[in-house]
């Protein structure tokens, strides 16, 4: 299974969010945040069946005028 993670820096943490499944984790580095997200998803799927068909999210940039 492959999912999409969005990572933001919210000092002092990096926060990794799965865009298809509402699971989030954090770490002191990007790599740690992703590893923790992977672990959180594995634990989540111990109790919940993975979806049969996951459509990848559409990622877009939105610009606002100043």
CATH number of the domain that residue 1 is part of: 3.30.160.250
At residue 1, the pLDDT reads 85
pLDDT for position 9: 98
Q: Give 10's pLDDT tier (boundaries 50, 70, 90).
A: very high
Q: Give the total number of structural domains in the chain.
A: 1
Q: What is the pLDDT of residue 54?
A: 86
Q: Find out whether the peptide bond into 31 is cis, omega within 30 degrees of 0.
A: no
Distance CA 15, CA 47 (A): 23
pLDDT for res 56: 86
Domain that holds residue 28: 1-66
pLDDT in tens, 16-60: 999 999 999 999 999 999 999 999 999 999 999 988 888 889 999
Token digits for 14? 């990096």
Contacts of 61 (CB under 8 A, 6+ apart): none
């Amino acid at each position: 299974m492959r999912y999409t993670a969005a990572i933001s820096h919210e000092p002092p943490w990096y926060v990794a969010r799965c865009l298809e499944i509402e699971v989030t984790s954090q770490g002191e580095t990007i790599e740690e945040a992703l590893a923790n997200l992977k672990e959180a998803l594995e634990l989540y799927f111990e109790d919940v069946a993975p979806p049969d068909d996951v459509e990848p999210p559409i990622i877009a940039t939105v610009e606002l005028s100043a």
